[in-house]
Structure 1
């Protein structure tokens, strides 16, 4: 902590969920096939956070920082605000610790989603 003129300056708090209190995050949801390819790309680059698997909808959802949905526009995906998912969810990649450490950088995710789409299109012969 910094000290200013004999007083302790307060450090801004990180937006971490607290016990008994859920905060918000955003999730980017994509079809399962594209999502699995994206996970591989991000993991190779060391940038993949937590990922939810929605088996009933055949989708994957990447946790991203709150506010990402406000400017997200990428065909083939959606982004929305959600309560921070709990441990009872079906995780493809569970959060290793606090949710903040489990978020995927939106710019890296956007690039990986594009690369995954191109890879899948090439493998499908389009």
Structure 2
């Protein structure tokens, strides 16, 4: 049973048009329904240490995306979520000058940062830690829904 009100789609994490070779900013993207993703963010932020990397939201705020190490998509099989390759596009710096702190552009078009890369946390979220948090989030949501 999943807590998803809808299944995540590839449209929410469409890869860029041009494929670039992977470099030190390469990552994959795990997308989940926003409710489960927000609960997982809370779980990860309450955890010990820096266990959460950058997190994206789509334009309609239906899904959240967690940046994970490259290669995660090859073995990701958590029901109610999807993992796609960003094809060598991790967080990238904006070409426009910005007088404030530099916040890189999201790696996927049509998204924004819920938690931008800040240099303090790791560049990506550990997939095993994310999987555990998403499982706990699903159980928490299911328990809350059953109390109604």
Provide the TM-score with structure 1 as the length reference: 0.76
Name the structure with the higher strand share: 1
Aligned positions, number:
105
- What is the alpha-carbon distance in structure 1 between the residues aligned to residue 65 and residue 84 of structure 2? 10
Q: Displacement of 1:57 after TM fit?
A: 5.5
Give matches, 1:1-126, under 5 Å.
15-17=23-25, 24-45=26-47, 46=49, 47-56=51-60, 58-82=62-86, 83-86=89-92, 87-89=104-106, 90-97=112-119, 101-125=122-146
**SS at structure 1 position matched to 2:128:** helix
Note the residue ranges of structure 2 that are not aligned, 5 or more in a row.
1-22, 93-103, 107-111
Q: Displacement of 1:52 after TM fit?
A: 0.4
Provide the TM-score with structure 2 as the length reference: 0.65
Task: Give 1 or 2 for the bigger CA radius of gyration.
Answer: 1
Give the root-mean-square deviation of aligned CA atoms: 1.9
Deviation larger for 105-114 or 89-98: 89-98
Note the residue ranges of structure 1 that are not aligned, 5 or more in a row.
1-14, 18-23
Name the structure with the higher helix share: 1
Q: Indicate if the aligned counterparts of 2:54 and 2:115 stay in contact, CA closer than 8 A.
A: yes
- What is the alpha-carbon distance in structure 1 between the residues aligned to residue 61 and residue 77 of structure 2? 21
